[in-house]
Structure 1
């Protein structure tokens, strides 16, 4: 009878190591189409209504008056350049091809400082872009900034949350139940 060795047996796989599932091209297209359809409906509902002379002036930070798709866009690697300055803001990550709003964020200092370190959204964007390249699909991720934001951090975060809920941006954790986390 041969004695068994404690060290020759293969180690069992870790329970938490599951293979990452990759969206098919059809799943990716369907996922983006659902987001696009929702956000197009939001755009239609957000069209400014005609006002009368006696109506109050709209609040400049009203989420219904902020259209991320109408803002000037910057390269998705904006934090490596000088073009964005050092002011606080609300920012939007947009895929301009369909177009869909992927992420809404706010900065407590400058957009560069927010993105220079580790940021989960950067990983999601990288994976999103890579999947498009794998399937040879057009993708054009850009970032837009809303500079006229409240200086008070709580007010700015409140505006950010309202915009996240309004647009249902899929890379924001508040919307993961609705859209899933295919890139997280």
Structure 2
């Protein structure tokens, strides 16, 4: 046992509650005005709706063989089976395999975050900034009594090779412009990602 080991007096459930307690103990002064929240969501939803409904133009080649479309063009995060965003608190018999995951507000039809993992059932155990963004997003809606339905969907066909998964993840982030991914914070002026 390391010399700096400190046993915890909290159960695992109490420790998990403490990990997110900051979100429930903030002053309401940090609330986003309803007009800013709805305008921000509408902008994101409008762009993503256009991405969904407009096929991507492709450069053809005169003698090219027909090929399968790239996953970035065929993966639709809104059609994946939604799971509760707190799925990671459950007990699993196995760690799960490589996957891409998508955090979606199904009420607003807004893709909030794209991520990748080698172990789908373990990815969010512990610290993950996106959990904080989700809690802030939900809090902003609840403070104005607005409907919100944030869930997560997994695409289980991701490559086992980390670099390949990360390339596809980045392509999807650029394609959908998911506002909780840091690559798009400036583009959307994302209000939920400031430091705690």
TM-based fold match above 0.5: yes
- List 4+ stretches of structure 1 deviating above 6 A: none
Q: What's the offset of the Cα at 1:31?
A: 0.2
Aligned with 1:98 (options 108, 117, 121): 108
Aligned residues between the structures: 160
| C-alpha contact (below 8 Å) 1:93/1:144 kept by paired residues | yes
State the partner residue of 1:131. 140
SS of equivalent residue, structure 1 residue 112: coil
| 2-structure distance, mates of 1:39, 1:140 | 17
| 1-structure distance, mates of 2:94, 2:113 | 18
State the partner residue of 1:152. 161
Q: What's the offset of the Cα at 1:21?
A: 4.8
| 2-structure distance, mates of 1:84, 1:137 | 37
| C-alpha contact (below 8 Å) 2:81/2:154 kept by paired residues | yes
Describe the superposition over 1:126-157 as per-residue Cα deviations: whole angstroms up to 9, x where unpaired.
11111111110000000001101111110110
How well do the aligned residues superpose, as a CA RMSD in angstroms? 2.4
Note closer, same or farther for the CA distance 1:153–1:139 as it changes in structure 2 (3 Å cut): same
Q: Where does structure 1 lack aligned partners over 5 or more consecutive residues?
A: 1-19
When the two structures are superposed, what TM-score results if normalisation uses the length of structure 2?
Answer: 0.75
Q: Where does structure 2 lack aligned partners over 5 or more consecutive residues?
A: 1-28, 59-63
SS of equivalent residue, structure 1 residue 116: coil
| C-alpha contact (below 8 Å) 2:31/2:143 kept by paired residues | no
State the partner residue of 2:41. 32
Larger-Rg structure = 1
Note closer, same or farther for the CA distance 1:77–1:66 as it changes in structure 2 (3 Å cut): same
| C-alpha contact (below 8 Å) 2:95/2:122 kept by paired residues | no
SS of equivalent residue, structure 1 residue 171: coil
SS of equivalent residue, structure 1 residue 46: coil
